[in-house]
Amino acid sequence: MTQLPDSSLSRLFDPQGIAIVGASATPGKIGAMPVTLLRQHGYAGRIVPVNPRADAIQGLPAVSGLDALDADIDLAILAVPAAHAAQALERARPGQIGAAVVFTSGFSETGASGAAQQERLCAAARERGIRLLGPNCLGFMNVRRKVYATFSPAPANGIVPPGGIGMVSQSGAFGAYAYSMARERGLGLSHWISTGNEADIDVADCIEWLANDADTRVIMAYMEGCRNGPKLRRALAAARAADKPVVVTKIGRTQAGAQAAASHTAALAGDDAVYDALFRQYGALRARTIEEFFNLGYALDTWKRLPGGRRLGIFTISGGVGALMADEAHDAALALPEPSAAAQARLLERVPFASGRNPVDVTGQAVSEPGLLLATADDILADGRYDALAVFLAAAGSSEALWPTFEAFAREMQARHPGVPLAISALFPPARRRELERQGCLVFPDPSAAIRTIGAVASLADHAGVDADAGMPEAVPAAGAPLLEAYNEVQAMELLRQAGLPATPCTLATDEDAAVRAAAALGGAVAMKVVSPDIVHKSDVGGVKLNIAGEDALRAAYAGIMDSVRRHRPEARIDGVLVAPMAPKGVECIAGVHCDPVFGPVVMFGLGGVFVEVLKDVSFRLAPFGRAVALEMIREIKGHALLQGARGAPPCDIVALADALAALSRFAHARRADFSSVEINPLLALAEGQGALALDAVVLRANAAA
Amino acid sequence: MTQLPDSSLSRLFDPQGIAIVGASATPGKIGAMPVTLLRQHGYAGRIVPVNPRADAIQGLPAVSGLDALDADIDLAILAVPAAHAAQALERARPGQIGAAVVFTSGFSETGASGAAQQERLCAAARERGIRLLGPNCLGFMNVRRKVYATFSPAPANGIVPPGGIGMVSQSGAFGAYAYSMARERGLGLSHWISTGNEADIDVADCIEWLANDADTRVIMAYMEGCRNGPKLRRALAAARAADKPVVVTKIGRTQAGAQAAASHTAALAGDDAVYDALFRQYGALRARTIEEFFNLGYALDTWKRLPGGRRLGIFTISGGVGALMADEAHDAALALPEPSAAAQARLLERVPFASGRNPVDVTGQAVSEPGLLLATADDILADGRYDALAVFLAAAGSSEALWPTFEAFAREMQARHPGVPLAISALFPPARRRELERQGCLVFPDPSAAIRTIGAVASLADHAGVDADAGMPEAVPAAGAPLLEAYNEVQAMELLRQAGLPATPCTLATDEDAAVRAAAALGGAVAMKVVSPDIVHKSDVGGVKLNIAGEDALRAAYAGIMDSVRRHRPEARIDGVLVAPMAPKGVECIAGVHCDPVFGPVVMFGLGGVFVEVLKDVSFRLAPFGRAVALEMIREIKGHALLQGARGAPPCDIVALADALAALSRFAHARRADFSSVEINPLLALAEGQGALALDAVVLRANAAA
């Protein structure tokens, strides 16, 4: 059951009538373009030009202001200067207008006085129950209903046909370029939306609306930043729930890009790594380039079924290019299983010099033997070994004589093997390409782009069973004790233990007797560490003793630590000495939480030492999440092999590690008002079946960090 | 001075007359295509069909065999079945024919009997001084001289104009596809060559010939493998010496690709990492995809000057896409310096809402103010801060009305700032795009592709001053002692010391007295290690003692080692105990040499521990090389930051490290007949000014490894 779209946005995006404030008769003026486009493309609703200095505009009767309208109207387009926009809206009666699109610039993007104009505009809209798109935007198009509420010049160079892609862009320039690219690539759009300054409606609203729009199958979004993280998260969850893939380009991946973005966009950007985590968590495909953005949108829109997994068959008439494609498949983490022995034998019977492995090279013989491609594909796909097929036809693809062969191949593939989506790489003339696309077959001139695209789309299948946030959980019970001013290591570990994390038992001893008692309770040799809010590098001041056993040694160690620390740092406050068991063998990891200003608590995971400090090899997810997401974030780090038992060590208990991360995420979410950051370092990954163990932690209160 | 091309290949690639053996009158037959193409495109030389069953072919008088030719002829095309090819050639008189191209398949690629056919063909050619292209190849084209010695169907769909790109492909299918791509991309070719089975002439020969060919400015090569490494190295050196950039695609980058390549190509592939090292060493640009292959060829051919460095100016009419381009610039290791304060101020005067930093966003104002782009570029380029400029024009690029603005911009940029190559990203119609390209301006629909291409091409400038092999050096003096059967650690270190490497002093002690004397000679505490050809993990058997000082302790340590080792491994042969100074502090690196079957000794460098073992973070270069190449290989590893003083450590002596690698490479090259592998582990990088130090080494004799 598809949920009905938010009705307030439906009046905007599917209006029954449109008033154009500032409508103009002068071609090329921003007030002329929507009137022209709406009429030219046959918009079926009512069009009312609003212009106090004309009785008619482009042949349509005009009214002098919104108050002069004889009836309610869904949409008002404001194509008047910033100084007059609020005033124009203020003439509307409450309830009279459903939504407004404001084209003009000169608002918050220009500084303080513009921001004041924008605030007045927003207030006018709010008071009248009007949803607002813009200001400083190119407007939108509902392609199927022929609503051209835009002054973008892009449709003037040729329009995009109706189709299943809903496209939303924060940037008008990107949006206009993307519209033109869609036309060049032969894609069809349901909606095209530019959000501009996002005074009210933002990219997240549009994604959520498109997720619920019956005309939209695929969502393509471009964003520069976002002010409301939870809303974006909800929108991506809605798209996921509606089974509509989202392709997103977000600028500021790198420091250079983030700086450039910050100097450009007024939106509070948040940390790019957090956006990346968000997109991974909700299975939104992040495109790094405009080309990738379109390759992904193209594949998701053109294929009638998406690959159900990562098993790729490569099929070529040139072994060398097959190897090139295998290289790319490796990079895209696609598997290349071999065809069945029977299928291989059958091919070699037909073509003795062919290669029956994967890549399957049917050789140039495919050119002289029209049925060879299809017969081989039938054999190879007979036993369900492949989730997608990539075919390279070399220069033969442009041959007029061979077109019937290739067309029949694509058609029959769709009929006989609809569960194995197909991508062909060849240089077809545009009309031929369109023909294959209509049959649900992708066409790429560059075989590597085909493979990369298949790899990215296949990742949706990996992720299909993962519950991105494990529901919004009940708050975990608050720690028994009231909130403290600050948490020392022992208190921090206790807090995590109560939150369900495996924390090593540790006791704060404030004298020798207590240290002896604590060690006796633990049994075996212990580690002892000074606990002081003023001392970070404990070893440097003689504040750590390891492997201490026996009462005398314990007393001596306690005294030794106190003595050395007081000598080195006479001014330091000392809480006592932490007594803990010696750590078992394991791989040192780090887990942490920090509070992103836009998205709230974010959990980090990485391996200790150089991996975090030098290689920055870490992964992030938004709290809260469950085991499946935690497993994804563990598998994502590059040093992951170390947890699988590299260098002769046994494999680690990755599930226990994942559960610890999930527990940390639930704690962070539930107590997000109380705590601003947590760092567990090290979090020890023990051998399989033996769990994970937090050895030390730093917990900071919200607003407690100076 | 351009060296004259090898004259024997000139008769092949620039023939004055061509005989076609197996010439046919039947359209579409492989013996018909070259006759048709040569005549159709106006080849000016003599064309002689050879066919025993016809007096004339396609209107040209035919002869019955090569022996029936009335004069010498430069080139014979053999379009006859494998079984008749050798025989056909055997009819030629020695010296009569300069070269032969053999189209047909059925030779070594099909197995043993085909290999025998190929051997007979080669012998016939060799005996008559005939250079051979193929067999099993699509032939070649000399585009300028209209020599279409090919049966590729690609030219039938439209020919590529003459131009500066020489293209050579081992694979016919790739070659044909590349020819079609070149046509689609509007590139011009000097030559197009397909080498097939490479019975005589291989890709390296063609690269070297193109390097010396006056019509060729850029070389594009596709290869699957290579049997003669030194020849390929020489060819790349020749291209470098002639200042002709080489773009190369070599399949088998990954394991999946290498397997696929191995199953396809008969050429011994060698290790892909070694090819990669070779390409880096000689500044050949390796393209991973066909698209990248063409983007690079396109840039190198279209730009009239190449970027002199990595400083990029980004220029947009949309801030958001500027940030996207900055992201890509970061990934491509391009720097984005800011314009001068004066230039920034001038832009903000003109457009208050512009962004004067880099990316420079002139905003949509560029559309309404035709001179803005050029005026801003003039300001920004005034003080020589940029090596290249990338411009994004968004959808405005497709505007008919704005074309004069953009055309004038590109033209004036070329006139006023010829030293700053320009790439524009926009969706121009094809004819417009060609117009800009004629002015030396690159055009890319995808701005990220523009940035990536600039980054790759700019790397040629980085590398410009580097002497790739530091000349072929004199052999280093052989070690004084004769070659031993096997080298223990002490002997290995001595060998490296004699080769000019900084090796820690160490002595083999065979009794306690000797150990005491050795320690006394060194002064200070020492490390002691058992030396045995049978014991790899010395610590596990109590074979290592560290930080030993004083006669008693030395004697006890010696005895303790011997005792423990004999207890654990009674059967082990023991050479004695190595005595060495305790190692200073430093970053542990690994350097090694192995012998590639195709390319000979290859030097490896990496950081120790997880970097090599888990992350495989290593770099390679072909021996021998000098300091500059060694510095490149050190900078190339991902963990490079650790050598620059990460985690509070002082920066390392990278020059000393480089000199050690260069010395190792000279040793490996000079003694390549004697030694098959060297591993120095650890090679310690000490603090700046303190050098590097090899602490331990394993050296294996050539053919000594079982």
Residue B137, C-beta contacts closer than 8 angstroms, at least 6 positions apart: B101, B102, B103, B172, B194, B195, B196, B197
Q: How distant is the Cα of A502 from the closest Cα of chain B, in angstroms?
A: 27
A interface test, pick of B157, B292, B321 with most A CB neighbours within 10 Å: B321
Interface test with A, best of B177, B291, B368 (most A CBs within 10 A): B177
Per-residue model confidence (pLDDT) at position A55: 93
Question: Nearest CA to CA, how far is A109 from chain B (Å)?
Answer: 8
**% of chain B surpassing 90 pLDDT:** 77
- Identify all chain A residues contacting B615, using CB atoms and an 8 Å cutoff: 615, 638-639
Decide if pLDDT at A206 tops 60: yes
Please tell me the predicted confidence (pLDDT) of residue A1: 33
Residue numbers in A near B353 (CB within 8 A): 109-110
Neighbour-count burial of B616, counting CB atoms closer than 10 A to its CB (0-12 exposed, 13-18 middle, 19+ buried): exposed
Give the residue from A410, A431, A462 where a domain finishes: A462
Which residue, among B97, B117, B94, B93, has the nearest Cα to B18 in the 3D structure?
Answer: B97
pLDDT category, A156, cuts 50, 70, 90? confident
Residue B492 belongs to a domain: no
Domain shared by A111 and A161, yes or no: no
User: Are A132 and A222 contained in the same domain?
Assistant: no
- Partner residue facing B398 (CB), from A180, A263, A331: A180
Which residue in the set B109, B395, B642 is minimally distant from A353, CB to CB? Answer: B109
Within its chain, how far is the Cα of A560 from the centroid?
53
Across the range A374-402, mean pLDDT stands at 93
Q: Are residues B515 and B441 in the same domain?
A: no
Predicted local confidence at residue B153, as pLDDT: 82
Distance from CA of A345 to the nearest CA of B (A): 16
- The arithmetic mean of pLDDT across residues B598-619, rounded, is 87
Per CB-CB distance under 8 Å, the chain B contacts of A252 are 323, 327
Q: With respect to residue A476, please indicate whether it lies within any of the assigned structural domains.
A: no
- Pick from B153, B184, B448: CB nearest A399: B153
The residue among A30, A255, A264, A613 with the most chain B CBs within 10 A of its CB, best to mutate, is A264
Contact list, A180 vs chain B (CB under 8 Å): 395, 398, 427
**Cα(B438)–Cα(B432) distance, integer angstroms:** 10
- Interval B636-669: pLDDT, tens: 998 888 899 876 788 999 999 999 999 999 999 9
User: What is residue A270's predicted lDDT score, i.e. its pLDDT?
Assistant: 58
Whether B347 shows a pLDDT value over 80: the answer reads yes
Q: Do B252 and A327 touch (CB under 8 A)?
A: yes
In A, which residues are within 8 Å of B154 by CB distance? Answer: 395
Q: For residue A357, which residues of chain B lie inside 8 Å, CB to CB?
A: 259-260, 263
Least confident of A512-521, B299-308, B640-649: B640-649
Q: Which residue of A has its CA nearest to B397?
A: A177
What average pLDDT score do residues A418-427 get? 96
Of the candidates B157, B251, B291, the beta carbon closest to that of A320 is on B251
- Chain A residues within an 8 Å CB radius of B319: 171, 260-261, 263-265
**Residue with the larger pLDDT of the pair A437 and B705:** A437
Shortest CA distance from A295: residue in chain B: B446
- Contact status, residue B605 vs residue B619, Cβ threshold 8 Å: yes
**Prior bond of B135 cis (ω within 30°):** yes
Tens digit of each residue's pLDDT (9 = 90 or more) over B436-480: 999 999 999 999 999 999 999 999 988 777 777 765 545 455 545
B120 is a domain residue: yes
- The reply to whether residue B320 touches residue A641, judged by beta carbons under 8 angstroms, is no
Q: Classify residue A428: in a domain, yes or no.
A: yes
The pLDDT of residue A702 = 85
Q: Is there a contact between A77 and A97 (Cβ–Cβ < 8 Å)?
A: no
The residue ranking higher by pLDDT, A491 or A255, is A491
pLDDT digits (tens, 9 = 90+) for A66-93: 999 989 999 999 999 999 999 999 999 9
> Is B261 close to A184, i.e. CB distance below 8 A?
no
**Over chain A, what is the mean pLDDT?**
91
Q: Is the pLDDT score of B269 beyond 60?
A: no
- How far apart, in Å, are the Cα atoms of A304 and each of A28, A480, A675, B320, B409? 40, 55, 47, 33, 45
**Same domain, residue pair A654 and A532:** no
A339 chain-B contacts, CB cut-off 8 A: none
Candidate from B264, B611, B642 with C-beta closest to A323: B264
- A109, A263, A615: residue with CB nearest B357: A263
Number of domains observed in the structure of chain A: 5
* pLDDT in the model for residue A352: 87
Give pLDDT tens digits for A463-477: 777 777 765 545 455
Nearest to B251 among A254, A289, A327 (CB): A327
Q: Of the candidates A171, A324, A355, which has its C-beta nearest B257's C-beta?
A: A324
| φ/ψ of residue A686, rounded to 5 | -85, 180
CA nearest B364 in A: which residue? Answer: A173
For the segment A475-489, the average pLDDT, to the nearest whole number, is 69
The two beta strands, A692-694 and A675-685, are antiparallel
Q: What's the CATH number where B654 sits?
A: 3.30.470.20
Q: Which of B508, B501, B536, B528 is nearest to B694 (CA)?
A: B501
**Assigned domain for B512 exists:** yes
Q: Verify whether the Cβ–Cβ distance B353 to A109 is below 8 Å.
A: yes
Who has greater pLDDT, B543 or B266?
Answer: B543
Question: Measured between beta carbons, which residues in chain B are less than 8 angstroms from residue A157?
Answer: 395, 398-399
Looking at the fold, whether B442 and B550 belong to one and the same domain comes out as no
Residues A320 and A368 reside in one and the same domain: yes
- Nearest-CB residue to B323 (from A252, A615, A641): A252
Report pLDDT for A3. 39
Query: What percent of chain A is predicted at pLDDT more than 90?
Result: 77
**Residue from B253, B324, B610 whose CB has the most chain A CBs within 10 Å, to mutate:** B324
pLDDT in tens, A677-703: 999 999 999 999 999 999 999 999 887
Q: Do A446 and B394 touch (CB under 8 A)?
A: no
A650 is a domain residue: yes
pLDDT value of residue A705: 43
**Are the Cβ atoms of B264 and A174 closer than 8 angstroms?**
no
Interval A637-648: pLDDT, tens: 988 888 998 767
Q: DSSP code of A640? A: G
Nearest to A174 among B154, B321, B330 (CB): B321
Tokens of B363: 């905003």
B61-76 confidence digits (pLDDT tens)? 999 999 999 899 999 9
Mean pLDDT of A185-197: 96
> What is the distance between the alpha carbons of residues A227 and B70, in angstroms, rounded to a whole number?
85
Amino acid identity of A216? T
Give the integer Cα–Cα distance in Å for B607 and B590: 6
**Torsion A161-A164-A170-A173 (CA) sign:** negative
**How would residue B5 be classed by pLDDT, with cut points 50, 70 and 90?**
very low
The angle at the Cα of B287, spanning B285 to B292, to the nearest 5 degrees, equals: 115
With beta carbons under 8 A apart, name residues in chain A contacting B448.
288-291
Residues B347 and B207 in one domain: no
- What type of residue sits at position B55? D
Are residues B196 and B93 part of one domain?
no
Q: Are residues B317 and B259 in the same domain?
A: no
Verify that B610 and B680 share a domain, yes or no. Answer: yes
Residue of chain B whose alpha carbon sits nearest to that of A397:
B177
Range of the domain at B553: 505-581
Sheet holding A246-250, edge to edge: A147-150, A139-142, A189-194, A162-169, A218-223, A246-250, A285-286
Best mutation target, B223, B327, B351, to test chain A (most A CBs within 10 A): B327
Distance of residue A161 Cα from the nearest chain B Cα, in angstroms:
18
How many angstroms separate the CA atoms of A548 and A531, rounded? Answer: 17
**Which of B110, B446, B613 has the CB atom closest to A291's CB atom?**
B446
Nearest CB among B264, B330, B638 relative to A255 is that of B330
Pairwise pLDDT comparison (A645 vs A246), residue with the higher score: A246
CB neighbours of residue B626 within 10 Å: 20
Residue B514: inside a domain, yes or no?
yes
Position A530 pLDDT exceeds 60: yes
pLDDT in tens, B77-131: 999 999 999 999 999 998 899 999 999 999 998 888 999 999 999 999 999 999 9
Last residue of a domain, one of B280, B302, B324: B302
Q: Is residue B555 domain-shared with residue B433, that is, in the same domain?
A: no
State how far Cα A535 lies from the chain centre: 40
Answer for the pair A224, A250: CB distance below 8 angstroms, yes or no. Answer: yes
Residue A134 has pLDDT above 70, yes or no: yes
Q: Which pLDDT score is estimated for B4?
A: 42
* Cα angle, residue A552 at apex, residues A546 and A557 outer, rounded to 5°: 35
Chain B residues closer than 8 Å to A288 by CB: 327-328, 448
pLDDT band at residue A431, thresholds of 50, 70 and 90?
very high
DSSP B612-644: HHTT--EEEEESS--HHHHHHHHHHSGGGGGGG
Would you state the pLDDT for residue A706? 39
- pLDDT tens digits, one per residue of B385-432: 999 999 999 888 888 889 999 999 999 999 999 999 999 999 999 999
Among A72, A106, A138, give the residue marking a domain's end. Answer: A138
Handedness of CA A339, A340, A345, A350 (dihedral sign): negative
CB contact under 8 A, A153 and B399: yes
Higher pLDDT, B5 or B544: B544
Which site among B171, B194, B253, B264 would you substitute to test the A interface, given the most A Cβ atoms closer than 10 Å to its Cβ? B264
pLDDT at B228: 93
Residues B190 and B118 in one domain: no
B contact test, residue of A610, A612, A643 with most B CBs within 10 A: A610
Residue B515 lies in a domain: yes
Q: Which of B390, B410, B407, B389 is nearest to B399 (CA)?
A: B407
Cβ separation A353–B259 shorter than 8 A: no
Q: In A80-228, which ranges are continuous DSSP H helix?
A: 82-90, 112-127, 172-185, 203-211
Rounded (10°) CA dihedral A89, A90, A96, A99: 30
Q: Which residues of A are less than 8 Å from B638 in CB distance?
A: 615
Interface contact flag, A291 B181, Cβ < 8 Å:
no
